[in-house]
Amino acid sequence: MPTVTHSGPPRVLLLYYSYTGQSKKVLDAAADVFRARGCVVTEAPIEFTDPRYAQRFSRFPMHRVWPEFFGMLPAQTLQRTGDIRTPDAVRTGDYDLICIGSPTWWDTVSMPLRSFLKSHEARNLLDGKRFAVFVVCRRKWRKNLAGVRKLAENKGGRYVDGIHFTYPGGELSSMLSLTSYLGSGEYKDRYLGVKLPPTNINDEHLEESRRFAARVADKVFGRQPQGN
């Protein structure tokens, strides 16, 4: 049964942090499905403004990729929060579904997204609302997905479903492929003498995101009649 209680079309919020744009890509693909179902879709990108860390994420590619990449490890390990900024859509809209795009930083929820999900704003947005989680990661995704779910449920959110998108390659090769991209802004075949697998979101991931969005829409808004 549909869960929309207000008049008008269903409203979907895309809430995410996305430094390289990968989380945004999978949410954009999902948004196409929601719009085709007649939903009004609103984007809410989180801005990372913390003075301790924001400078390294204010530009792409990174100027000093290894120090900046590894420099986030202590804060991530300790699950710290930092200063962020959110758009007005987070405070002014009434949404039937919230899709959370969560990149994995060092095996867990990124500091910008964690900071929002621990805020009072998150309670106002999520309390009593259904949400789905889209995790983008190099290899490890479980702690990220579980972490987002727990934080959002702690703010009163009602979990619908979650999905993860991983990049090919082993632990070392995928890390080198990602850091090569972060430091150059380009895809390379080799880095530090190692042959690299492709990195980032591809067309197959985008199609997977569309299928997932259709399943979520069926659960939240009701299944579409066959033939539509």
pLDDT per residue over 137-187, tens digit each?
Answer: 887 899 999 999 999 999 999 999 999 999 888 888 888 898 899 999 998
Position 175, amino acid: M
pLDDT at position 24:
97
Amino acid at 184: S
* Domain carrying residue 120: 11-168+201-217
Q: Tell me, what CATH number does 151's domain have?
A: 3.40.50.360
On whether residue 4 sits in a domain, the answer given is no
pLDDT for 2:
54
Q: Would you state the structure tokens that stand for residue 46, as one six-digit string?
A: 């989180």
User: Is residue 89 domain-resident?
Assistant: yes
Average pLDDT of the chain, as a whole number: 92
List of the chain residues with pLDDT < 70? 1-6, 225-228
Alpha-carbon distance of 99 to 173, in angstroms, equals 30
42 domain residue, yes or no: yes
Question: How many domains is the chain partitioned into structurally?
Answer: 1
Q: Residue 32 has what pLDDT?
A: 98
Residue 194 lies in a domain: no
Q: Output the pLDDT for position 178.
A: 87
SS3 20: coil
Per the DSSP assignment, residues forming a β-bridge with 212 are none
Whole-angstrom distance, CA of residue 175 vs CA of residue 191: 11
Q: For residue 84, is it within any domain?
A: yes
In a domain, 138, yes or no: yes
Does residue 6 lie in a domain region?
Answer: no
Q: What's the CA gap between 168 and 121, in Å, rounded? A: 36
Q: Is residue 225 part of a domain?
A: no
Residue 109 to residues 17, 62, 95, 101, 220, Cα–Cα distance (Å): 10, 20, 23, 10, 25
How far, CA to CA in Å, does 34 sit from each of 42, 90, 135?
Answer: 11, 19, 18
Report the pLDDT value the prediction gives residue 1, as an integer from 0 to 100.
46
pTM, rounded to two decimals? 0.91
